[in-house]
Amino acid sequence: MSDSAPRRRSRASAGLPPITAEKIIDAAVELTGERGLDGWSIRQIATRLDVWPGVIAHHVGDREAVVMGVTDRVISRIPVPDDDVPWRDWFRSVMSEGRTVLREFPGVARRLCVVGPNVPAALPTIDTGIRVLLKAGFGAHAPEVYRYLFNCAFTLVAVEDDRGSFPTARAEMGRAMAAFAEDETHPGLAAAGTTARSRSTDPAAVAAQETEFFRFTVERSLDGAEAMLTSR
């Protein structure tokens, strides 16, 4: 059907199942996977479900309410280990699994970093993660360490999402830096240029390099938290 208007017959007379809030969020999650969290409208959800936009408002609310539903659904897909896992392993697992899930739904990571995980599905993760930190000895600093670790990881995921909007910029930056590889008068730029020159342009290799850098970021953030713990 067209993107402009749904059918005028009732769903019951057309032999279609009734619309529910769950079906609306299902459609919004699908659109987020295809276009990103900022890439769809209420009208596009209505078109996909073959209903009027007012039906979305009736069952879920405005666009912000739908976004909250999408965020809740996406977060619920991130596996959460039990609180008996050592704290570094716990955060390493959730951040790594979280990146895998969030990268499937561009824009959700940015929202988590800017707005915060203010949806029901995030509550068990917050509770368990802070309990893990309390057990490790972080004391009253446990909540801020929790926030620090996830901001480090998911801000990087948000950046990875946004790079899709600049398909050629990174390659141009790499070529510009690679030009300094032989510049002995600027050793810092030369080192950066050598690294840039060694980076592959093959998409699979680039993806592997990005994963490796994410792991590097996670480990260094965990090192920073552990330094705070040992200094206590």
Give the domains, in start order, of the chain with CATH numbers. 21-74 (1.10.10.60), 78-165+200-231 (1.10.357)
What's the DSSP call for residue 121?
A: G
User: SS3 breakdown of the chain: % helix, strand, coil, rounded to 5?
Assistant: 70, 0, 30
Per-residue pLDDT of 188-221, as tens digits, reads 999 988 888 887 777 788 888 899 999 999 999 9
Residue 171 has pLDDT above 50, yes or no: yes
Which structure tokens are listed for 195?
């690294």
| HEC-encoded secondary structure of 78-113 | CCCCCCCCCHHHHHHHHHHHHHHHHCCCCCHHHHHH
Give pLDDT, residue 206: 81
In Å, what is the CA distance from 35 to each residue of 27, 74, 112, 138, 181?
A: 12, 15, 18, 40, 38
Give pLDDT, residue 89: 98
CA dihedral 38, 40, 42, 43 (to 10 degrees): 150
Give pLDDT, residue 173: 83
Q: What is the mean pLDDT of residues 64-89?
A: 97
Give pLDDT, residue 167: 76
Q: What is the mean pLDDT of residues 56-60?
A: 96
Residue 1 has pLDDT above 50, yes or no: no
What type of residue sits at position 131? Answer: R
Residue 174 has pLDDT above 90, yes or no: no
d(CA 145, CA 228): 9
Q: How many Cα neighbours within 13 Å face the side chain of 228? A: 18
